Amino acid sequence: MIFAAPAPLGQAELAARLPPGTDVPAILAEIARAYAARGITLVRTAGGYAFRTAPDLAPALRGAAPEPRKLSRAALETLAIVAYHQPVTRAEIEEIRGVTTSKGSLDLLLETGWVRLRGRRRTPGRPVTYGTTPAFLEHFGLDAVSDLPGLDELKGLGLIEGRLPAGFRVPQPGDGGEADEDPLSPGDTGTE
């Protein structure tokens, strides 16, 4: 099932296809052990399980894969804001970035499938909220949004250097549904 699945499969999906009473975690652990020394490994990603090329072989095989589209700095900043602050509106993205966010940046992120329209705020104007997708988690090798690095990890990687402004913090990433957000209704494209 895992080999044939187009996306990572969760334990509940696997259990639904196996005989009742099957110990799915034990089976997954056994599969992971059996494939640990092979060219592919069983990994937990985007809330499910999938086979991926073994890390030691990935550089040799990467040449055949199409080169992913490069994101502009604005699109990368927007993606980071969406990931750490979701659900977030366009106005909130602009406030955090300190500049106007072009429609192209969000369109590109929606096109890549890393960002999705989540819902609408329960505030005047009912602005659309954005959040990340399972494709985002899968691409970046994350099991959940909470696996994004925190401030200490970002400093350790050298991504944040120098003196930080007083009160600067990296939000604790979460995928939390907010009390002031309604899900999009069917047919709502977020353009109204």
Structure confidence by residue, pLDDT tens digits, 101-127: 877 889 899 999 999 998 888 888 889
User: Is it the case that residue 81 has pLDDT exceeding 60?
Assistant: yes
User: Is it the case that residue 146 has pLDDT exceeding 60?
Assistant: yes
pTM exceeds 0.85 for this model: no
Mean local confidence (pLDDT), 147-159: 71
pLDDT at 177: 55
pLDDT at 80: 87
- Element housing 44 (H / E): strand 40-45
Mean local confidence (pLDDT), 37-61: 81
Distance separating alpha carbons of residues 192 and 185, to the nearest angstrom = 12
- For the chain, the straight-line distance linking the first and the last C-alpha, in angstroms and rounded, comes to 41
The domain locations on the chain are 11-56, 73-181
pLDDT higher at 188 or 77: 77
DSSP 70: P
In the chain, what percentage of residues exceed pLDDT 90?
A: 12
- Rg (alpha carbons) of the chain, rounded to whole number: 19
User: Is it the case that residue 60 has pLDDT exceeding 60?
Assistant: yes
User: Is it the case that residue 23 has pLDDT exceeding 90?
Assistant: yes
Give me the long-range contacts of 118-123 (CB less than 8 A, separation at least 24).
Answer: 118/86, 118/87, 118/181, 118/183, 118/184, 119/87, 119/181, 119/182, 119/183, 119/184, 120/181, 120/182, 120/184, 120/188, 121/89, 121/180, 121/181, 122/180, 122/181, 122/182, 123/180
Q: Note the pLDDT tens digit of each residue in 83-103.
A: 888 888 999 889 888 888 877
What's the topology of domain 73-181?
Arc Repressor Mutant, subunit A (1.10.10)
In the chain, what percentage of residues exceed pLDDT 70?
A: 77
User: Is it the case that residue 173 has pLDDT exceeding 90?
Assistant: no
Task: Compute φ and ψ for 9, nearest 5 degrees.
Answer: -105, 135
Q: Which of 85, 99, 115, 98 is nearest to 190 (CA)?
A: 115
pLDDT confidence bin for 25, thresholds 50/70/90: very high
Q: What b/e readout covers 148-159, taking b as 16+ CB neighbours within 10 angstroms? A: beeeeeeeeeee
